Amino acid sequence: MVAIGQFTLLLDGEGHRAHTVSNADADRDKTNLLRGLIEEFEIRYDSLKSCDHFLVFDPSTWPQEMQDLHSFGNTTVCSIPKKYEATLQLDKDTTVTEWMRLKQAGKRLGASSVYDLVQIVNTSNPVAYSYINKVVKLSLTLPLSSAACERGFSHLNIIKTKYRSRLSHARLSALMQIHLSKQTTETFDPKQAVDLWMETANRRLNQGQGSASAASSSSTMQEAEEEDSGGDTEEGSEKDCT
């Protein structure tokens, strides 16, 4: 039995041999199955439509005429604050106004990429692009491909094997972060990690330091006792001489 949305497909060879269906029924079932797959894919990948909205920030897609550029992308930019309003706290009207101002500046300065728009925003008056600045920088966080995700799965298969299948989520996440950070031993400063490791529990290193200090104090006391006993011996020998 395979459930796809509201449709259920019976994958049983004996059941199919015992039941004969007409061509019309088979076509109807195939149509319903494909329709169910399409609906499920649309629900699953509905968020991908928002990625198309950020294509307007690519100056290479802008129209050449200023009259066409004036209205280009206004509707798209207007829909972005609706989706990210809770996280970015954007005002729709102000964002569109700043977008129109940014298009004019990008056209005048010859911007050819999203990076050029970011440079214009960063070097201009912060108040002039306070809202559109968040949206443009948000477009830079969109992944260009799934290579980073596939690389993460590859590291996951290396770390968590059948011999290390009981790793906790916290430990696995920490090991994944170490593998993906790609920081070399020459540039890594272990002091903070060692200090945190020492503070989390009573380590043997701490006990060793305590034992060393105790041994040092014990040897000091022993030396003092030997000096006292040596002084008593000298006094006794002087009395014997007299």
Claim to verify: residue 183 and residue 193 sit in the same structural domain: no
At 196 the pLDDT is 87
Task: State how many domains the chain has.
Answer: 4
In-domain check, residue 179: yes
The model's pTM is 0.45
Same domain, 165 and 176: yes
Same domain, 107 and 178: no
* pLDDT value of position 18: 45
Residue 165, domain extent:
147-187
Q: Is residue 173 part of a domain?
A: yes
Per-residue pLDDT tens for 38-65?
888 877 776 666 677 778 888 888 888 8
According to DSSP H, which parts of the chain are helical?
13-18, 23-44, 49-53, 66-71, 74-88, 92-109, 114-123, 132-139, 147-159, 169-181, 191-199, 204-241
Same domain, 100 and 163: no
233 pLDDT higher than 50: no
Same domain, 68 and 135: yes
- The answer on 171 and 130 residing in a single domain is no
